[in-house]
Amino acid sequence: MILADIMEPRVQTESVLPPDGPQRFAIATVLVATLTGLVGLAVVTVLAIGFWTGRENTIALLHDKGELVLTASEIRLREQMDPAANQLAFIAEVLGQPNSVSYGKNRIADLLTGALAAAPQIVRVVFVTPELYVITAERGPDGPEVRLFSRETDPRLAAMVLTASARIGGRWDDPVYDHAAATTLIPHRHSVWRDGRFIGVLSAFVGVRQISNFLGSGLPVGAGGNSFVLYDREYVLGHSRLAQAFPGLDREHPLPRIDEVGDPVLANIWSPKMNAKILGGAHKFHIVRTDDDEWLFLYRTLYSYGDAPWTIGTYFNASDVSGEVRRLLYSAVAGLGVLVLASFAAVLLGHRLARPVASLAHVARRMRRFEFAHMPPLHRSRIKELDDQIRAFNDLLSALRWFESYVPRSLVRRLVQRRDGKPPPSVEREVTVMFTDVQGFTSLSERMTAAQTASLLNRHFALVTTAIEAEQGTVDKFIGDSVMAFWGAPERQADHAARAVRAALGIARAIDADNTARVSAGLRPLRMRVGLHTGPVVIGNIGAPGRVNYTIVGDTVNIAERIEELAREFPSENSTVSILASEITVGQANAPAEAGYVGPFTLRGRAEVVPIYRLASAARADASSDR
């Protein structure tokens, strides 16, 4: 049964739609009702003029004080955070120079100690190699303390290094609690590369105590206020109470919540029943009423230090501006009341009209990203034209769910992005082909249940395809426990061989890290083979008229598969993944540091001899020579 036969009944049926309901109305009828919005427009115009005038007066009172405090606080905060990033960038640049190969562990430790001297707010600086050898310099009671040790069995550290090896440059990570220092630290990670090879990751840790100590210092005399820094709106990262050791923190709870820091005013900052927001310029202002008084909060949001936003702000007694704010709010409430009464019908109809349109737009965006699996059918609309569109949209969604199971989304996404909107013709092109296989999987699966086998394969394929797609490769198909992928099509990639080599080494790192976790859990490690070959193939739409695959065919595919089979005879000494590649692939990838010549071989089914090379991580080779 071909795919078209399977899909046809689902496309024609309307079983996913709700039954017919009340009468549908033409959109022209709805547009007539919106004329009542003209009344609302007149009210809004008058209200806007009054509101703008009062708002400008209020902001004029707040601007001088708010600008003074917030700007000074932000400068102090950046003076604490940015030098840490700058120090790591400098050290990474030094270690990335070709002449830094001779840098020993002690010399690297000197660089880390120098970073502590240049930035007093840094509590600790750490360098971790891909082999999980750690060099750390931190502040001690009698001066800098340097330690050198190995953590090669630490899965968390291995995961951090693996993440760092997939990026270039630095970034701020989430806060962590350090039991040894009894404080919370903000880490900055910076990947170190030399000659295109990942050699380690640097980390600098800025203490929350240091941020809290310096936050309030340096503010202009008479600025007043109580400065603070919030992490992700709900947690306190900088506050006068955090300048000393704060009880109750641990690794699961590295920062206190706003209601735990012991500041009753700050605890009510986001109380929905107590505040009235007024936006102005780059700042946000609102009034909070407590049992004793009213407080004015001023704050701005920073997005420079990790994924979660930081809110830097201050608050002080609002008695000098609360009267103006209150009058402004009273006038706004009165005007809004008139507006609600005058335009209630228009708002109701507008919402009913906007809801299906917004749902259509939302579903269309998800369909563009090929997210069909969890999209429910759209609800029917009382607007006739919209209801017809929703019915057609639901039919289309039902059909597309079938395609998602059979067509690789990454490939379709690339084909869709072609400017001419047409599938590429079948052509001959040079590509690099990869085959992978799990060694001894058949015997392993015989001792496992069907669910266990599926779970193991799904996890394995996730690791392999992630490494392939990280190098913009195309996963052609899954064959049992094997994967076939290629580079150089549908879009041309001049460095397709180099991408394939990097993907193979990335697979090795991912599988080795996963095997470390499996061994720790008492499971046997998986051994894997990878074969690479570069050559001409026919690429395009291959198949019968009723079922077409965009794939590659040719002798190059067969050679890559034979090389993968040959890898069974050459297990790796430093990895659970054995990688063999043909001479042409190694030459085009320009990967002499990762390749070792194995010899000439006559592959199964072929007469000519193929020179074969074995690939290994250059970082692992360095580690072996050091030991």
pLDDT digits (tens, 9 = 90+) for 86-144: 989 999 999 988 887 778 888 888 889 988 888 888 889 999 999 999 999 988 888 88
Kindly report the number of other CB atoms within 10 A of residue 360's CB atom. Answer: 16
Contacts with 78 (C-beta within 8 Å, 6 or more apart), sequence order: 304
Report d(CA 266, CA 247) in Å as an integer: 18
Report d(CA 511, CA 533) in Å as an integer: 21
Helix, strand, or coil here: 254? coil
Q: How many CA atoms lie within 13 A of 363 on its CB side?
A: 23
Contacts with 409 (C-beta within 8 Å, 6 or more apart), sequence order: 370
Q: What is the pLDDT of residue 318?
A: 67
Q: What is the pLDDT of residue 623?
A: 37
Report d(CA 465, CA 463) in Å as an integer: 6
Helix, strand, or coil here: 106? helix
The pLDDT tens digits for 324-365 are 556 666 766 776 776 667 666 665 666 666 666 666 667 666
Report d(CA 151, CA 160) in Å as an integer: 12
Which domains, and CATH codes, for the chain? 3-24+343-406 (no CATH), 410-626 (3.30.70.1230)
| pTM for this predicted structure | 0.43
E strand intervals along 465-603: 474-479, 482-487, 528-544, 547-553, 577-582, 595-602
DSSP string, 255-273: S-BTTTSS-TTGGGTT-TT
Q: What is the pLDDT of residue 614?
A: 92
Please say whether the beta carbons of 383 and 25 come within 8 A.
yes
Q: Which residues pair with residue 548 across a beta bridge?
A: 543
Q: What is the pLDDT of residue 14?
A: 36
Helix, strand, or coil here: 164? helix
Return the DSSP state at 421: -
Tokens representing residue 391 in the block: 């019915």
Please say whether the beta carbons of 580 and 613 come within 8 A.
yes
Which residue positions in the chain have pLDDT lower than 50?
Answer: 1-19, 27-28, 31-32, 219-224, 275-282, 618-627
Sign of CA dihedral 118, 122, 124, 129: negative
In the numeric block, the tokens 């050679």 are attached to 559
Q: What is the pLDDT of residue 231?
A: 94
Q: Rounded to the nearest 5 degrees, what angle is found at the Cα of 178, between the Cα atoms of 160 and 114?
A: 75
